[in-house]
Amino acid sequence: MKKKQPAQLQQEPLMTLSDVASFLQVAERTVYLWAQRGMIPSFKLGNVWRFKRTDLERWIEECKTTTPRSTAE
């Protein structure tokens, strides 16, 4: 019988560079450069970049709050 892991221990699937490019609607090269420069939450497994969707969603929310807004109406 297979043991079920508690919800907090279950791993979310990791996203590839291609997955993230599609999710963010930008070029793969852009995601690669952001990852290399530490501008986007990411990590390397061996030689490949990987991303967690929850980290990306948090990063997007942070970007929304720090993006300058025009005061002109």
pLDDT in tens, 44-55: 999 999 999 999
Task: Enter the CATH code of domain 13-65.
Answer: 1.10.10
* DSSP summary character for residue 7: G
Residues 6+ positions from 14 with CB-CB distance below 8 Å: 45, 50, 51, 52
pLDDT tens across 4-29, in order? 655 555 688 999 999 999 999 999 99
Residue 50's nearest CA partner among 40, 58, 37 is 40
Higher pLDDT, 18 or 68: 18
Domain boundaries in the chain?
13-65
- What are the tokens at 11? 């791993």
**Whole-model pTM?**
0.76
The two structure tokens encoding residue 34? 């952001």
Q: How far apart are CA 9 and CA 42, in angstroms?
A: 20
